[in-house]
Amino acid sequence: MRWYLVALLLLGLLCVWGIYRALGIAADILVVAFVFAYLMHPLVVFLEKRGISRRFAVLATITVSTIALAILILGVAPFIYRELKSLVLSLPDIFHALLERVNVLLERIDPDLRMVETDLIETFKSKIQENAENLFKPVMTATTAVLSSSLAAILFVAQLALFPLFFYYMIQHFEHIQRTLLNLVPQNYQESCRYYLRRFNTVLSAFIRGQLIDCLVLAVIYSFGLWISGVKFGFLIGLLAGFLTIIPYVGAWVGAIGAILLSLVYQAEFAQYLGIAITFAIAQSVEGFIIQPLVIGNKVGLAPLTTILLVIAGGNIGGFVGLLIAIPLGGMAQIVILDLLTYYRKSRVYRGT
């Protein structure tokens, strides 16, 4: 009987893989729509509890999400592009100034100590200067290639237009989709499946929604704090640090090191370093005393050392994607492992009877 279930499971996975490959980019859009529906579903439930109809709650959620995304793309994206381009063009000067600052520090230790700019470093700097203007051309080239063929352009736009449709269907019928998938599980295992799905959902929702709120709040604090402090490219560094907060312990370190290095390069005064320290102190206080306990809580349940090891392992195995999914997967794995340990301690093998 168990081999029969395993065969059915493998056949189902094979069918899912075949459908995914056949749908092409539409499958990716479908997955993204499901993720967005999962994230926005609590808002729909909240509105329903306030007496708003399901359909209107879904439409309101889609409208608010679309407006927020449009503001983000039209308002923030051009500024980020200009700042990023300016930073790339300034990299040779930043590198040269940083090297000079290091030489000054070395000469204070020993007058004979000095880092010499080798031909390789000079070549690296010249290549950046030559190609900085063309760094964003691959994106434009790929876009032009897609749009150059009328048929490809029509298919591309049509597939992108599927996202609102997929998102509306997913969030409108979210509970029905859950019940349908659960009914595919054999009846003897449905209760166990519900139990683990509830616990996995607790971990996933706490981590994903909590980390998104964490990233957004810290990005705002870092960006405006560094900008007010007068750090060159401070707004861009703050956004990067806030985004990288989704990977535990990475965002704060990247932001602090980047801000301090740029302050050294541009020979900032003491007030700027004080502003950097105050910015990161406020951000870490908000994260530690407000966001973590009130939004995320201890629902993931991983110790700090375990979190660090999971991030390292996730990065080694899956790269950047591995870094993102290591913590929620570790939290779900911990649930199963703890249940197995409880079962083991109740077994005759452990009690020796």
Residue 116 above 70 pLDDT?
A: no
Residue 45 above 70 pLDDT?
A: yes
In this structure, the dihedral spanned by the alpha carbons of residues 279, 284, 285 and 289, taken in order and rounded to 10 degrees, is 160
Residue 112 has phi, psi (to 5 degrees) of -85, -10
Burial of 240 (0-12, 13-18, 19+ CB in 10 A): buried
Residue 352 above 60 pLDDT?
A: yes
Looking at residue 296, its pLDDT comes to 63
Confidence of residue 297 (pLDDT cuts 50, 70, 90): low
CB 265 within 8 A of CB 98: yes
- How much of the chain, in percent, has pLDDT values that exceed 90? 4
CA-to-CA distance for 272 and 238, rounded, in angstroms?
15
Residue 174 has phi, psi (to 5 degrees) of -60, -50
208-217: pLDDT as tens digits: 777 888 888 9
Residues 245-261 have a mean pLDDT of 85
